Amino acid sequence: MNTKFGFCDLGFAKLDIDRVRRRGFAEAVYCPGKDKIHLKKICAGFIRNKQPLLLTKLDKNTNSFLRKSIPGLKYNPLAKIGYLIQNKTIVKKGQILVVSAGTSDIPVAEEAALTAELLGSNVVRLYDVGVAGVHRVMHKIEELRKAKVIVVVAGMEGALTSLVSGLVSCPVIAVPTSCGYGASFNGLAPLLTMLNSCSPGVVVVNIDNGFGAGYFANLINTPKE
Amino acid sequence: MNTKFGFCDLGFAKLDIDRVRRRGFAEAVYCPGKDKIHLKKICAGFIRNKQPLLLTKLDKNTNSFLRKSIPGLKYNPLAKIGYLIQNKTIVKKGQILVVSAGTSDIPVAEEAALTAELLGSNVVRLYDVGVAGVHRVMHKIEELRKAKVIVVVAGMEGALTSLVSGLVSCPVIAVPTSCGYGASFNGLAPLLTMLNSCSPGVVVVNIDNGFGAGYFANLINTPKE
Amino acid sequence: MNTKFGFCDLGFAKLDIDRVRRRGFAEAVYCPGKDKIHLKKICAGFIRNKQPLLLTKLDKNTNSFLRKSIPGLKYNPLAKIGYLIQNKTIVKKGQILVVSAGTSDIPVAEEAALTAELLGSNVVRLYDVGVAGVHRVMHKIEELRKAKVIVVVAGMEGALTSLVSGLVSCPVIAVPTSCGYGASFNGLAPLLTMLNSCSPGVVVVNIDNGFGAGYFANLINTPKE
Amino acid sequence: MNTKFGFCDLGFAKLDIDRVRRRGFAEAVYCPGKDKIHLKKICAGFIRNKQPLLLTKLDKNTNSFLRKSIPGLKYNPLAKIGYLIQNKTIVKKGQILVVSAGTSDIPVAEEAALTAELLGSNVVRLYDVGVAGVHRVMHKIEELRKAKVIVVVAGMEGALTSLVSGLVSCPVIAVPTSCGYGASFNGLAPLLTMLNSCSPGVVVVNIDNGFGAGYFANLINTPKE
Amino acid sequence: MNTKFGFCDLGFAKLDIDRVRRRGFAEAVYCPGKDKIHLKKICAGFIRNKQPLLLTKLDKNTNSFLRKSIPGLKYNPLAKIGYLIQNKTIVKKGQILVVSAGTSDIPVAEEAALTAELLGSNVVRLYDVGVAGVHRVMHKIEELRKAKVIVVVAGMEGALTSLVSGLVSCPVIAVPTSCGYGASFNGLAPLLTMLNSCSPGVVVVNIDNGFGAGYFANLINTPKE
Amino acid sequence: MNTKFGFCDLGFAKLDIDRVRRRGFAEAVYCPGKDKIHLKKICAGFIRNKQPLLLTKLDKNTNSFLRKSIPGLKYNPLAKIGYLIQNKTIVKKGQILVVSAGTSDIPVAEEAALTAELLGSNVVRLYDVGVAGVHRVMHKIEELRKAKVIVVVAGMEGALTSLVSGLVSCPVIAVPTSCGYGASFNGLAPLLTMLNSCSPGVVVVNIDNGFGAGYFANLINTPKE
Amino acid sequence: MNTKFGFCDLGFAKLDIDRVRRRGFAEAVYCPGKDKIHLKKICAGFIRNKQPLLLTKLDKNTNSFLRKSIPGLKYNPLAKIGYLIQNKTIVKKGQILVVSAGTSDIPVAEEAALTAELLGSNVVRLYDVGVAGVHRVMHKIEELRKAKVIVVVAGMEGALTSLVSGLVSCPVIAVPTSCGYGASFNGLAPLLTMLNSCSPGVVVVNIDNGFGAGYFANLINTPKE
Amino acid sequence: MNTKFGFCDLGFAKLDIDRVRRRGFAEAVYCPGKDKIHLKKICAGFIRNKQPLLLTKLDKNTNSFLRKSIPGLKYNPLAKIGYLIQNKTIVKKGQILVVSAGTSDIPVAEEAALTAELLGSNVVRLYDVGVAGVHRVMHKIEELRKAKVIVVVAGMEGALTSLVSGLVSCPVIAVPTSCGYGASFNGLAPLLTMLNSCSPGVVVVNIDNGFGAGYFANLINTPKE
């Protein structure tokens, strides 16, 4: 297998094993739509090349299948993340706060939180503080202000983002979720809300993309030498 | 558990137990997307804090699961509402009329009607009076004119709203439903129809949001001291 | 110029002069986006081939320009139709009723009415009878029931279509208009309303397509020998 | 049960039994989303009032359920229509041609054809003549020209409508279908195609609305006394 | 002119002069898209029938034109409302609060406020209190809680609605505005936000429909005898 | 059965058996939505008329059903293509390169590759070379430049197309896939990306339309005599 | 100025002067949105580096401005193309046919035709042969079959593409145009039509992208050595 | 004027003069849709409260108007930013790189670059390095890798974002622009592309929101004490 040019060629897949050097962390594997056998071979390829494994949107059945050939594989069913990471020792200084608007947004929030933790960040969770009862978030203002970066996860109307951003001086990463029904149009409503935030200091990732938000939060939290 | 600051902190959830004082009614629980164990703990938390329970979009299976630990939980399968409300004694004076265009709109109409009743309003139902046979609604014009507020529930083209509103002097709350097919685009068609009503006195809630319409109708029916 | 094969080839245009034989009426000319010189040559070509002229969506300036070389050209500025039709003698028996919901819909309604008249139909107009004041249309129920075919022109929510259709046994052609603002999305709202009409006996044409509705109404009104 | 005012009030439903007098044919019943028990009572109500039954989008299971209490109920599984119609004797003079672009469009085409037949029209079917092999439709040009009204059923790009309309002098009713994938967006593509037809003489009904097209075709085919 | 049947027939228009009796207030006139001469005749017709005049979305030029024949016509250029109302004497008891998120939303907010005032309500304005600086709205919490009904006008992401609604027990009417750019899609973003509000007690009107919100707020503020 | 006019009339279907002569290859059969019995008869009809069989989007169950009556039917489960092609002997000179961005795009890429092969082209596959690790595609630049035509298959953001096109002088055919979630909106995102490619030399086919891309690539690879 | 690395760095722009070598033709300049001074400098930079100039979507005023400093600049106002190309001598063997559905589509068709000509192809034009009068295109079937590649330009419903493609064995490139109104949604309707073409052998470019179609047609017409 | 509670109440506006303390920088003023007189008063209010001025999307005419009463106001016509900032002395250590895909994207790129500079960051510009000529960006890889944070500004298909992100380890902020035509749908295409980026480490702001991107980039570049 050719790995000289920075990738491991499996024929149907080209594992980007140069990524740690280039980007600071190995390639994560997005699982949906992939053949189980393919997925197994991809995992084996990464392990053989001494790369950490991070599998996103991994459902329970596929996890069970993979675990047979990867005994140490860990799995968080709420975040739907599978992982096998050796040396998660250097924890960064800054604190990442992951905020969710409602309890239905917790799976995506957990995906963000766990991703950032696996990448070496210290994460605090603050869940179920939507704007319909604003005293809940106001009460936690000290925690908001202590964070180096905040991830806000919200479905339905997604209004929590602007509120939180208006209270702090740190960057805010907004994650719209597909929670809701009718005119939420599977997450379009909070996506548009967040893109139109009247509060500067807000950026947005794809609907339900907790992984992307956790990854980006960790990037901000990683000092560039 | 901290309830001093107006909420009961379950970690994964922060129950807004200040809401009765602040808003006149306790927090309702939107069930889809919530973990069963979480839902059970949320219900327990509200009961422990002597709050009434109102669970919306609750499916039959989850209701069966919850009833095991909440023996008195009542359930209306058509409206998909579960509830446990002690003192529903003070019925308000005004009458709320819930009108549905077709028989397929009845589940959403029932959600609106039952919500308003549970909140203490007197509700009259008038179902299946769509504009394709306008004599049906014309025949009931006395009932329309007696209402203090009218909820109109309609899918497909949603034309009933403007017609009803044009006949009465009371406020009309329009609920688009996802009934229909093709170019109804899951309720987008009646939603746009209702938002563009040429008759003043009409407001709109989310597609299939019977709860929101019933809640708002009851608000109008509740005199401010 | 080659007209042997049923069209007159102007190079940039191929006038379909076989259309009267094939379809019962000559090709109408949709004016927007056409070069003035092209338009003038197209008109000249049709006149040379003894075809009637029917120009749609013709603005005032272009009409003034064309009239210089086509002295007899008639123009209706409300309907934005220019025409030059010799023998409009055989008026058909049935009566076409053109109904408009509001006064802002009149230009499109006039386009429909004038088109049908130019094609030889007898047209009655009934304007400004939107559903916000339903007694206006109810009062005209005799006129509705006398029609052989009805064209309903409506913007905003377009609810008039189903109401009218529910009262009569004749075919109803619905024309959504771009009148309105906000969530009418330039006519999308009434277009969807009309496509989802719960009353059978309704068909729809493009937004603002008064010409198409008038043409189709006349077709129904034209007995097939 | 009150039927004096032109409807039969079942509480949850108001059967429009005045419709034959007013519109020429009884109310058809759109089945999806209706409770089975409700549907059964609605059928019983119509039968009791000596109305013909026409049930659209009726699936096999519900048909089996209904047949238990309505022994004579007929069912066409391709068109998904259930019916019980006594005196279908007076067949009208004109001929309706139902054209489908592909074989996947046949269920909607059958819904249109059967509806028109049940309402008393004579129907000819011409299936699988899409524009990708235009000689197929050209070969049938005599049949096209004999029709009093043509229904064109097409999914994917829906281009057949304009082609057919350009060849004939009779009215054409276009039915977009949800056949296709990707950028057909469940029928949006052929819907827009048909609404923008450059050939006058075309009108459009909702996506997959074979019933509406058949109903309208029969209306045109029904001479007004 | 026939006014016996509740409307005044001008041929091109049918003025609904029965509306005060039926609905409590006369027909308002939506100006865009109407011919100036038509508009003038409509105004004259209402005045002749002793109806109050309320003209919405009236631009400056048309106002100047109308004032020539209607000397007493008043005009508010910010709200774009023209009016001529005799006896605005009975001011209702409750107070309507109109809240705007930003200064760019003021024209729509003024349309709502002036409409409610002209209909007889007492209105308080609270402008520029968007969520990016939440202390501004928190500081005004007493004013929020005093209101009988609140109108919230907001563009961009429209998050203010849920925040305000979560603080009060009165009904909240949300008006999305077309302020903003890019992914606000001319008001679609705040419209969806508001429809998906996680706070019950919120209803929505069309984008930029200040008139509709003011009208509805006044309805709630009008006690039904 | 009438085949004199270039088609074989099965009643419900009109097989275009003139297509080889007219277009160079027989009619392919799109399987979804077709009745199994119909499909079987269509296959039998083509075989009887000595046409090659090419069945697209054929699922496993239907393949099993068909194989019973068509013993030699071959099936590729990844590409979801069934086929029965006699004389695939003349392989064309040029080489088609099929490139996929990720491993989840492989099924659509295989549909393109196999289609081109069955039509007589020589195909090389280059999979999993998305832009997130651009060295992978850069390393294969010789292969890119050797191709006579390139098919690029990509979901999510679809950015690979412009990159590849910018490196080569041959035509590039872009196939958006429905891989992804959230704001990919089932393939809308890569579809728009590809249509807006800033690199000339790119054309686009429908979402997931591997067949269309392979067909077109083979067309370019087929010299016109 | 650095041109060693294949581009000429103007600071605000990096002219890709390696493109002829890499892709066979120089970079074309898309003019809208560019500052006039920038555009002038870009042109000067290409001329200095002995590159041919091809300016697309160039309006008349900007052309007049540029001509002052580039005396030899040629301009085609219909195609909105400016150009300065020295040695257009080697004309390729195959013939490109550019077909337009209506006369309003001619500007985009001319952009395609002129682009292909400037790149060295022989182009034949066939305009105004839309499907509403199909005999026009049928009469030209010999010309269609002689072409090596066909560009079909069509607005409104765009149905011409499938018809043409079904008649020939060569590749067809479809260009949707923004001609039309209402539900054409600025070209969305023909774009979707063309993407869903039921005839294989069709690919699509962006709405109004005549340049892209002409470029691609020339690519197919350019034999790879 | 009340400034005790952290805002300066101008009646129509409530200037958030607490923002420097709370968020690190004063409130920026979005100019479109604001009355000139209002805008002038808002500027005066900020100056009076010793706040820096930052006016976004400010057109030339309004700038000329404001300069009359604010003599020192500076204006960058490309970035459309007006400003008046006293002590921009502490330049931060890290370097922000602003990359644009094409020259038409420069205005938005300049808005981002100037915003970050005014907030105290050191900015490097790298313009016109779109993926159609990838050697341009590859040649600048050292500059890409030196940056602490990168802003990528791109219209049309927006593919540059993923490419750049895949090459670096720092955070990337993507700004879609409304440059382009047809299926770019005013920036929707690059917005969706960027949201679906297959490369982690990418976040997105609103279409044309250069200000938001520059603000966020500066936030990342600002070390939290």
Q: Is the separation of the CB atoms in C188 and C197 below 8 Å?
A: no
Domain assignment present for residue A3? The answer is no
H129/G57 Cβ within 8 A = no
Instruction: Tell which H residues from 200 to 219 touch E, by Cβ distance under 8 Å.
Output: 206-209
Residues of B in Cβ contact (< 8 Å) with D16: 132-133, 136
Q: What is the pLDDT of residue B90?
A: 60
pLDDT value, residue A193: 95
β-pair partners for D150: D97, D172
The whole-number pLDDT of residue B120 equals: 92
State the average pLDDT over residues A144-153.
Answer: 96
Q: Do A191 and F181 touch (CB under 8 A)?
A: no
Structure-token match 């049906």, residue found: B136
Same domain, H113 and H39: no
**pLDDT over threshold 60, residue B24:** yes
Angstrom distance (rounded) from CA H103 to CA G33: 8
Nearest-Cα distance to chain F for D209, in Å, is 17
Please spell the DSSP secondary structure of A35-93, one letter per residue. Answer: -HHHHHHHHHHHHHTT--EEEES--HHHHHHHHHH-TT-EEETTTTEEEE-S------S
Residues C146 and C51 both lie in one domain: no
Q: Is D136 a member of any domain?
A: yes
Q: Give the mean model confidence (pLDDT) for residues G110-121.
A: 96
For D75, residues 6+ apart whose C-beta sits below 8 A from its C-beta are D58, D60, D63, D67, D81, D82, D83
- Per residue in A188-198, pLDDT tens? 999 999 999 98
Q: Identify the band that residue D88 occupies on the pLDDT scale cut at 50, 70 and 90.
A: low
Q: Residue written as tokens 């330039």? A: C186
Task: Among C80, C135, C179, pick the best mutation site for testing chain E contact (most E Cβ within 10 A).
Answer: C135
Report how far residue D67's alpha carbon sits from residue D86's, in angstroms, rounded to the nearest whole number. Answer: 17
Span B104-113, pLDDT tens digits = 999 999 999 9
Give H123-173 as a DSSP string.
EEEE----GGGTHHHHTTHHHHHH-SEEEEEE-TT-THHHHHHHH-SS-EE
Q: Kindly report, residue by residue over H56-98, the tens digit of the pLDDT.
A: 999 999 999 999 999 899 999 999 999 998 765 566 779 999 9
pLDDT band for A89, please (50, 70, 90 cuts): low
Same domain as D42, residue D12: yes
- At residue A96, the pLDDT reads 97
The pLDDT value recorded for residue H225 is 55
CATH of the domain at E181: 3.40.50.1970
How many angstroms away from the CA of F69 is the closest CA of chain H? 45
C-alpha–C-alpha distance, residues H216 and H174, integer Å:
11
Residue in chain H nearest F176 by alpha carbon: H193
- Residue-level pLDDT at D65: 97
Q: Using the predicted structure, report yes or no on whether residue D1 has a pLDDT greater than 50.
A: no
> What pLDDT, on a 0 to 100 scale, did the predictor assign at position E87?
61
Interchain proximity D204–C224, CB inside 8 Å: no
φ and ψ of G122, to 5 deg: -90, 125
Chain G residues touching residue F195 (CB < 8 angstroms): 191, 204-207
Q: Which of the residues F3, F4, F12 would you substitute to probe the D interface, choosing the one with the greatest number of D C-beta atoms within 10 Å?
A: F12
Nearest to G139 among C5, C27, C57 (CB): C5
Tell me the mean pLDDT in the region E80-91. 79
Listed in order, strand segments (DSSP E) in C132-212 are 149-154, 172-176, 202-204
Residues from chain F contacting residue H163 (CB–CB below 8 Å): 131, 134, 159, 163
Range with lowest mean pLDDT among D178-192, D193-207, G211-225? G211-225
Q: For Cα atoms F14, F15, F16, give the angle at the middle one, nearest 5 degrees.
A: 110
pLDDT at D2 over 60: no
Q: Which residues of F touch G200 (CB under 8 A)?
A: 28, 211-212, 215-216
What backbone torsions phi and psi does residue C52 show, to the nearest 5 degrees?
A: -70, 155
Provide the b/e sequence for A95-114 (b: ≥16 CB within 10 Å): bbbbbbbbbbbbbbbbbbbb
Q: What is the pLDDT of residue F73?
A: 96
User: Do C34 and G139 lie within an 8 Å CB cutoff?
Assistant: no
Best of C119, C148, C149, C203 to disrupt the D interface (most D CBs within 10 Å) is C203
Closest by CA position to D88, among listed D123, D139, D131: D123
- Range G66-85 average pLDDT: 95
Q: Which domain holds residue H207?
A: 93-221
Q: Any idea of the CA torsion for F135, F137, F138, F144, to the nearest 10 degrees? A: 170
Choose the mutation target among C103, C126, C179 for the interface with E, i.e. most E CBs under 10 Å. C103
Q: What is the pLDDT of residue E79?
A: 96
Tens digit of pLDDT for each residue in E172-181? 999 999 999 9
Q: For residue F92, which amino acid is it?
A: K
Q: With bands split at pLDDT 50, 70 and 90, how would you rate the model's confidence at G43? A: very high
Q: What is the residue-averaged pLDDT of chain H?
A: 92
Q: How confident is the model at residue D120 (pLDDT cuts 50, 70, 90)?
A: very high
**Burial zone of H104 (CB within 10 Å; 0-12 exposed, 13-18 middle, 19+ buried):** buried
Domain membership of residue C47 (yes or no) is yes
Find the mean pLDDT for residues H166-180: 96
Contact A201, A194 (CB under 8 A): no
CA distance D149 to chain G (A): 17
Nearest to E133 among H16, H187, H209 (CB): H16
- pLDDT for res G1: 45
Q: Are residues E79 and E98 in the same domain?
A: no
Per-residue confidence at B91, pLDDT binned at 50, 70, 90?
A: low
A196 contact residues in E (CB cutoff 8 A) = 156-157, 180, 182-184, 189-190
Whether residues D77 and D121 share a domain: the answer is no
Q: Which of A54, A20, A24, A152 is nearest to A96 (CA)?
A: A152
In order, the DSSP letters of A178-207 are --S-GGGGGGHHHHHHHHT-SSSSEEE--T
Look at A195 and H191 and tell me if their CB atoms are within 8 Å. Answer: yes
Residue C1's pLDDT band (cuts 50, 70, 90): very low
Q: Is beta strand C172-176 parallel, antiparallel or unpaired with respect to H14-15?
A: unpaired
How close is the nearest chain H Cα to the Cα of E100, in Å?
9
pLDDT over 70 percentage in chain C: 95
Residue D225 reports pLDDT greater than 70: no
Chains F and H touch (3+ CB pairs under 8 A): yes
E2 in any annotated domain = no
F and E: touch, per 3+ CB pairs < 8 A? no
Contact between residue D14 and residue B134 where contact means Cβ atoms under 8 Å apart: no
Please indicate if any CB of chain C lies within 8 Å of the CB of E171: no
For residue G49, the SS3 value is: coil
Write out pLDDT tens, residues A9-39. Answer: 999 999 999 998 999 888 999 999 898 999 9
Distance between CA atoms of residues A153 and A194, nearest Å: 10
DSSP state of C198: S
Q: Are residues B98 and B192 in the same domain?
A: yes
The tens digit of pLDDT for each residue in H15-46 reads 999 998 899 888 999 999 898 999 999 999 99
- A1 pLDDT band, cuts 50/70/90, is very low
In a domain, B1, yes or no: no
Averaged confidence pLDDT in chain E: 92
Does residue E78 sit in the same domain as residue E158?
A: no
Q: State residue H224's pLDDT score.
A: 67
Task: Give me C145's structure tokens.
Answer: 């029931």
> C169 forms bridges with which residues in the sheet?
none
* G195/F205 touch (CB, cutoff 8 Å), yes or no: yes
Residue E160: closest CA among G10, C46, E168, D33: E168
Between chains, do G203 and F173 touch, taking CB under 8 Å as contact?
A: yes
Any chains having at least 3 CB pairs less than 8 A from chain E are: A, B, C, H
Asked if D18 reaches chain F (Cβ–Cβ under 8 Å), the answer is: no
Cβ separation of H157 and F162 shorter than 8 Å? yes
Q: Do chains D and A touch (3 or more CB pairs under 8 A)?
A: no
Return the half-sphere exposure (C-beta side, CA atoms, 13 A cut-off) of residue B186.
8
User: Which chain A residues are Cβ-neighbours of E190 within 8 angstroms?
Assistant: 193, 196
Asked which of E84, E116, E149 is the last residue of a domain, the reply is: E84
Closest residue in chain F to residue H164, using alpha carbons only: F132
Q: pTM, whole model, 2 decimals?
A: 0.95
Is there a contact between F200 and G206 if contact means CB atoms under 8 Å apart?
no
Query: Given a cut of 80, is residue F223 above it in pLDDT?
Result: no
> If you average pLDDT over residues A38-63, what whole number do you get?
95
Pick the residue from chain G with its C-alpha nearest to F205: G203
| Complete edge-to-edge strand list for the sheet that includes strand B29-30 | B29-30, B53-56, B81-84, B74-76
Which of the four pLDDT bands, split at 50, 70 and 90, describes residue G88? low
Most E CBs within 10 Å: which of H9, H10, H16, H204, as the mutation test of the E interface?
A: H16
Among B84, B102, B132, where does a domain finish?
B84
- Is the CB of E166 less than 8 angstroms away from the CB of A195? no
Phi-psi region of G21 (alpha: psi -120 to 50; beta: other; left: phi over 0): alpha
G181 with C14: Cβ contact below 8 A: no
CB neighbourhood size of C49 (10 A):
14
Tell me how far apart the alpha carbons of residues E23 and E219 are, in angstroms, rounded to a whole number.
10
Gap between the Cα atoms of B188 and B156, Å rounded = 9
- Averaged pLDDT score across all residues of chain D: 92
Q: Which chains touch D (3 or more CB pairs under 8 A)?
A: B, C, F, G
User: Do C64 and C98 have their domain in common?
Assistant: no
Bridge partners, E178 (sequence order): none
Residues D63 and D133 in one domain: no
Task: Indicate the residue among G36, G60, G84 that finishes a domain.
Answer: G84
Residues of D in contact with G166 (CB under 8 A): 131-134
Q: Which of B138, B132, B167 is nearest to B150 (CA)?
A: B167
Q: What is the percentage of chain F residues whose pLDDT exceeds 70?
A: 95
| Of D127, D122, D117, D124, the residue nearest D177 (C-alpha) | D127
Distance (Å, whole) CA F196 – CA G204? 11
- Would you give the distance in Å from CA A197 to the centre of its chain? 21
pLDDT confidence tier of residue C156, bands split at 50, 70 and 90: confident
Do the domain assignments include residue C136? yes
Identify the three-state secondary structure at position E142: helix
The per-residue pLDDT for range C124-148, each reduced to its tens digit, is 999 999 998 889 999 999 999 999 9
Confidence class for position E5, pLDDT limits 50, 70, 90: confident
Rounded CA separation B161/E206 (Å)? 14
Residue G61: how many CB atoms within 10 A of its CB? 9
Q: Give the separation between CA G121 and CA G115, rounded to whole angstroms.
A: 9
For residue B2, being part of any structural domain is answered with no
Q: Which residues of A touch B210 (CB under 8 A)?
A: none
Q: Of A207, A197, A203, nearest to A216 (Cα)?
A: A203
Tally of domains in chain C:
2
Say what the pLDDT of residue F6 is. 86
Interchain CB contact of E142 with H (< 8 Å): no
Check CB contact of C127 with chain E, cutoff 8 Å.
yes
Mapping DSSP to helix (H, G, I), strand (E, B) and coil, where does residue C69 land? helix
Claim to verify: residue B116 and residue B212 sit in the same structural domain: yes
At G122, the pLDDT band (50, 70, 90 cuts) reads very high
Nearest to E103 among H38, H188, H208 (CB): H38
Residues with Cβ < 8 Å from E67, sequence gap 6 or more? Answer: E73, E75
Subunits in contact with chain A (3 or more CB pairs closer than 8 Å): B, E, F, H
The answer to whether residue G206 scores a pLDDT higher than 50 is: yes
Residue F161, min C-alpha distance to chain A (Å): 18
Q: Contact partners of B by the rule of 3+ C-beta pairs under 8 A?
A: A, C, D, E
CB contact under 8 A, D23 and C206: no
E24 inside 8 A of chain C by CB:
no
Angle between helices G60-69 and G36-48 (to 10 degrees): 50
Check whether residue D119 and residue D156 sit in a common domain. Answer: yes
In the block, residue with structure tokens 């007076």: D90
C179 touching E, CB under 8 A? Answer: yes
H113-122 average pLDDT score: 95
- Is D98 found in the same domain as D76? no
Mean pLDDT of chain G: 92
Task: Name which of A208-212, B74-78, E108-112, G6-10 the model is least confident about.
Answer: G6-10
Cβ atoms within 10 Å, residue D208: 24
Tell me, yes or no, whether E1 lies in a domain. no
Residue C91 pLDDT level (bands cut at 50, 70, 90): low
Please answer yes or no on whether B200 and E28 come within 8 Å at the CB atom: yes
